[in-house]
Amino acid sequence: MELRVLGCSGGIGGQRRTTSFLLGEQVLIDAGSGVGDLSLAELSRIRHIFLTHSHLDHILSIPLLLDSVFDQLEQPITIHAQAHTLRALREHVFNWVIWPDFTALPSADLPVVVLQEMAPGEEVRVGDCSLGMIPVNHIVPTVAYVVKYPDGIFVFSGDTTTNDTLWEGLNALPRLDHLIIESAFSNAERRMSEISKHYCPQLLAEDLRKLTHQPHVYLTHAKPGEEEMIFNECRQLIGDRPLSHLTGGEVLAL
């Protein structure tokens, strides 16, 4: 089982792509601009998209993905997300103004995409894996995903700032092998990270003290151009844990 990092940047420019992970061949977790690097054949194998929240950098490839593969699909792509996120897609994307309503195309009986509500506490099984949600703390309702695969568990935090729900949820897991988490801003922009509800290295380091597991920690969502500064600040504050800065194109063997 592989987790392919299609994108994990806080923005675009050069090789940067926004958040999206491909789990195996059929599952996307978030659908940022990195999805556009997949081949048409790879795009047509996607069956499930799990969304952390409704912000554009995490959903922007969905409309074009559907448009690119709709005539090759034998069954719909299912988007799993909280009610708030699905409502945002219906009202602000698939509204015939920004994009056609693919939940009713080519017909309401056999649409290209199905919106499937999911809530914390539920687990959705896909092949060898199961995915569950933990609520986090961001501008809009947002979740982390707990992914149980045959040999372990990884968690992707989604966008978040300081909270207790994520850390209590992580500590309740039987094990935690990989933690993919964000630090969008540097410490100099701590105020901005509080306003926009993201982590900066200081806030993340404080919260990591709550974690009882010893996973490998991967940093994501850095502001473009500040990746090195943010990673160096994290390394100084979180020196006691295995730590990497994740980059687009990496593949994690699970």
Where along the sequence are the contacts to Zn ion (CB under 5 A)?
Answer: 55, 57, 159
Give 44 or 85: the residue with its C-beta nearer to Zn ion. Answer: 85
Residue 209 CB-half CA count within 13 A = 7
Q: If we measure between CA atoms, which residue out of 30, 65, 64 comes closest to residue 50?
A: 30
Q: How far is the CB of 16 from Zn ion (least distance, A)?
A: 13
CB 31 within 8 A of CB 64: no
Give 57 or 207: the residue with its C-beta nearer to Zn ion. Answer: 57
Peptide bond before residue 63 is cis, with ω within 30 degrees of 0 = no
- What is the C-alpha separation between 22 and 7, in angstroms, rounded? 10
Give 51 or 147: the residue with its C-beta nearer to Zn ion. Answer: 51
Q: How far is the CB of 55 from Zn ion (least distance, A)?
A: 3
Q: How far is the CB of 2 from Zn ion (least distance, A)?
A: 23
Q: How far is the CB of 158 from Zn ion (least distance, A)?
A: 8
Give 161 or 187: the residue with its C-beta nearer to Zn ion. Answer: 161
Q: How far is the CB of 221 from Zn ion (least distance, A)?
A: 6
185 phi, psi to nearest 5 deg: -125, 165
Give 159 or 233: the residue with its C-beta nearer to Zn ion. Answer: 159
CA distances from 227 to 7, 95, 214 (A): 14, 36, 24
CB 77 within 8 A of CB 94: no
CA distances from 211 to 183, 214, 233 (A): 16, 8, 19
